[in-house]
């Protein structure tokens, strides 16, 4: 029987070595494309990110260019300390979702893994079309070959490191041709390799359904796909249940974001951690506990502990301890935080 494994930045790891896993995080990236000017009356509060203005930054996180740069030395120092805390808290693995267009930093991922003994899994693929106009005309075949090579031969920037999954494969709305090609190419690679895939949908409820339709038509398996950010995308329980029927993993990955004002989509309220747990509990009651994943999607400085944030250990230290009182059995918590990630990440 062929040995099952998943691919981390320091080499292959067996599923039993995974431990508590965060399935959607960023360790280094640049999110400056999403800069949004702050309200004029408080504009002088957004030149930096520190404890003196963290309240403003939490309310308007995309109004500080400094906050959106997760790849500078200040961010890297903070990330390293946060991952060390994640390890001390009992964490085992972080899945890094920065793809083409977000300034992936494979060398830094290796350093973090070496210094902390946390397994880091790096992704391959393409972020939204608008963030990488120079690549807008590349073909589906080129995308397929690039993702396949990242998975089997190693990244162009460091061939000693192979991608452990495809993601986050991202799209806006309506989907652009570039994004459709990336989704279909990911489905083809998944079919060939049996690899895990993670998708980033636009903020409208129709987006997750359209992405999965294209992915399935290309041959991808539903039980190896993750749909990210459902806590801010499918807030109607009936639609969430309809989507869960498709067989993909339903990921709630904005834990720690407790400000209801959602700067990137002000028409929708960002849920609290309590509301996230309520939606997960609903899925568990409906027999979908094997389809749920949890993470933080840290992608700005203000969510790191050094800048007044919750850090990568928030779910372990602050959310999991609340789950038994909300009706989650110990085996369900273990399934969501350890077993589901291991099943998704394992190549088969």
Mean pLDDT of 116-137: 97
Q: pLDDT-derived band of residue 213, with 50, 70 and 90 as boundaries? A: very high
- pTM for this prediction: 0.97
Provide, rounded to the nearest whole percent, the portion of the chain with pLDDT above 90: 96
Question: Whole-angstrom Cα distance, residue 203 to residue 200?
Answer: 9
Q: What's the mean pLDDT when you consider all of the chain?
A: 96
Q: What does the chain come to in residues? A: 348
Mind listing the domains of the chain with CATH numbers? 6-31+71-345 (3.20.20.140), 39-68 (no CATH)
Greatest pairwise CA separation for the chain in angstroms: 65
Question: Whole-angstrom Cα distance, residue 265 to residue 246?
Answer: 26
The predicted structure's pLDDT at residue 1 = 40
Mean pLDDT of 30-43: 95
The predicted structure's pLDDT at residue 5 = 85
Mean pLDDT of 238-251: 98
Q: How is 112-131 classified by DSSP, letter by letter? A: HHHHH--EEEEEESB--GGG
Q: pLDDT-derived band of residue 2, with 50, 70 and 90 as boundaries? A: low
Helix (H) or strand (E) holding 242, with range, is helix 237-244
Question: Whole-angstrom Cα distance, residue 111 to residue 116?
Answer: 8
The predicted structure's pLDDT at residue 48 = 85
pLDDT tens-digit readout, 153-198: 999 999 999 999 999 999 999 999 999 999 999 999 999 999 999 9
pLDDT tens-digit readout, 285-307: 999 999 999 999 999 999 999 99
Q: How is 141-195 classified by DSSP, letter by letter? A: HHHHHHHHHHHHT-BTTBTT---SEEEEEE--SSPPHHHHHHHHHHHHHHHHH--
């Amino acid at each position: 029987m062929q040995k099952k494994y998943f691919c981390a930045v320091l080499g292959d790891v067996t599923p039993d070595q995974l431990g508590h896993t965060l399935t959607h995080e960023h360790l280094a990236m640049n999110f400056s494309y999403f800069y949004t000017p702050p309200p004029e009356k408080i504009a002088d509060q957004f030149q930096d990110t520190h404890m003196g203005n963290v309240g403003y930054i939490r309310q308007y996180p995309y109004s500080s260019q400094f906050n959106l740069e997760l790849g500078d030395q200040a961010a890297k120092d903070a990330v390293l300390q946060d991952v060390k805390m994640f390890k001390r808290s009992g964490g085992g693995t972080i899945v890094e979702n920065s793809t083409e267009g977000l300034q992936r930093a494979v060398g830094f991922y290796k350093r973090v893994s070496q210094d902390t003994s946390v397994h880091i899994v790096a992704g391959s693929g393409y972020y939204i079309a608008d963030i990488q106009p120079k690549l807008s005309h590349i073909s589906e075949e080129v995308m397929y070959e690039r993702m396949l090579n990242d998975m089997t031969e190693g990244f162009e920037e460091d061939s000693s490191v192979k991608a452990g999954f495809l993601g986050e494969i991202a799209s806006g709305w309506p989907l652009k041709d570039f994004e459709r090609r990336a989704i279909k190419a990911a489905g083809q690679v998944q079919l060939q390799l049996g690899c895990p895939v993670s998708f980033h949908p636009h903020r409208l409820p129709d987006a997750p359904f359209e992405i999965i339709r294209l992915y399935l038509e290309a041959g991808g398996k539903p039980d190896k796909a993750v749909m990210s950010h459902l806590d801010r995308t499918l807030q109607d329980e009936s639609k969430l249940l309809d989507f869960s029927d498709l067989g993909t993993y339903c990921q709630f990955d904005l834990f720690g974001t407790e400000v209801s004002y959602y700067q990137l989509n002000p028409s929708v309220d960002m849920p609290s951690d309590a509301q996230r747990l309520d939606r997960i509990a609903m899925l568990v009651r409906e027999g979908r506990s094997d389809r749920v994943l949890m993470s933080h999607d840290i992608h700005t400085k203000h969510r790191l502990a050094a800048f007044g944030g919750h850090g990568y250990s928030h779910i372990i230290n602050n959310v999991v301890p609340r789950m038994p009182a909300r009706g989650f059995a110990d085996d369900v918590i273990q399934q969501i935080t350890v077993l589901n990630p291991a099943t998704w990440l394992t190549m088969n």
